[in-house]
């Protein structure tokens, strides 16, 4: 059993790191769920590299996400996103935070499932809305009623995000608390698997 073989002094982060092994930890979820913010802090806690796929796409294309959508459209953006993700997920362990639509795209979803342990930051509409309505950097929300658009995206996407290996509820508590829940989810999954 896991508890017997683990050093008693192992901290939560160490146990989570052990459970992750060489796999990547991939954050998925809607815009504003906290994938970038919580992903970065989780990587710090685990002592492994952090990469945000939206940032990486902007870096390699030298364009912002909004500019990419405007110049080439969503389909081309998804193709670029899939190529970038394939490269990012090639080696691990890393924490990779994805853009909100990445896991919804079939090609990217396949790569993500193959490339690591997935964690869905689930969140209620009002939490997401409070966070995303402060900035207009998200092209999919440039609609007449962005809150309604966000709700429509929730309905369409939540059943797909729910395929994730792990789920943590994102909400307005200290980010460190969410990170702790992420680490517990990773460590507990390992424990559950060792009992199978
Ligand atoms: N637990 C939290 N409490 C308060 N604010 C939070 C929390 N988690 C994230 N935030 C804030 O919410 C905003 C959106 O978070 P973030 O950019 O990480 O979301 P995201 O899931 O990466 O979104 P996108 O898909 O658009 O990239 C940021 O300003 C972030 O600091
Ligand atoms: O939810 C989405 O489809 C998106 C979320 C962002 O992270 C960006 O990847 C882009 O704005 C698309
Ligand atoms: Mg992000």
Could you tell me the CATH number of the domain that includes residue 76?
A: 3.40.50.300
The number of CA neighbours under 13 Å toward the Cβ of 120 is: 21
Q: How far is the CA of 113 from the centre of ligand 2 (A)?
A: 19
- Listed residue (130, 191, 123, 120) closest to 162, CA to CA: 120
- Domain for residue 11, yes or no? no
3 part of a folded domain? no
Q: Is residue 9 part of a domain?
A: no
Residue 156 lies in a domain: yes
In a domain, 8, yes or no: no
Confirm whether 4 is domain-assigned.
no
**What is the pTM assigned to this prediction?**
0.94
Write out the residue range of the structural domain in which residue 39 sits. 18-194
Ligand 1 touching residue 138 (CB < 6 A): yes
What residues does the ion ligand 3 have nearby, CB within 5 Å? Answer: 35-36
Residue 27 tokens read as 């954050």
For residue 168, tell me if it sits in a domain: yes
The string of pLDDT tens digits covering residues 93-141 is 999 999 999 999 999 999 999 999 999 999 999 999 999 998 888 999 9
Q: How many domains does the chain fold into?
A: 1
ipTM of the complex: 0.97
Is the beta carbon of 101 within 6 A of some atom in ligand 2? yes
């Amino acid at each position: 059993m896991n508890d017997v073989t683990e050093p008693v002094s192992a901290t939560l982060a160490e146990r989570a790191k052990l459970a992750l092994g060489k796999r990547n930890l991939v954050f998925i979820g809607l815009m504003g769920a906290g994938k970038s913010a919580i992903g970065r802090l989780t990587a710090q806690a685990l002592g492994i590299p952090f990469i945000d796929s939206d940032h990486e796409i902007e870096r390699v294309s030298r364009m912002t996400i909004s500019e990419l959508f405007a110049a080439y459209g969503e389909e081309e953006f998804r193709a670029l996103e899939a190529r970038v993700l394939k490269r990012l997920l090639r080696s691990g362990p890393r924490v990779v935070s994805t853009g909100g639509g990445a896991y919804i795209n079939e090609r990217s979803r396949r790569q993500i499932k193959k490339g690591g342990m997935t964690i869905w930051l689930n969140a209620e509409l009002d939490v997401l809305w409070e966070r995303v309505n402060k900035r207009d950097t998200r092209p999919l929300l440039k609609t007449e009623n962005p809150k309604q658009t966000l709700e429509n995206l929730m309905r369409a996407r939540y059943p797909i995000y729910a395929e994730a290996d792990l789920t943590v509820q994102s909400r307005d508590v200290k980010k460190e608390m969410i990170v702790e829940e992420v680490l517990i989810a990773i460590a507990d999954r390992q424990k559950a698997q060792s009992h199978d």
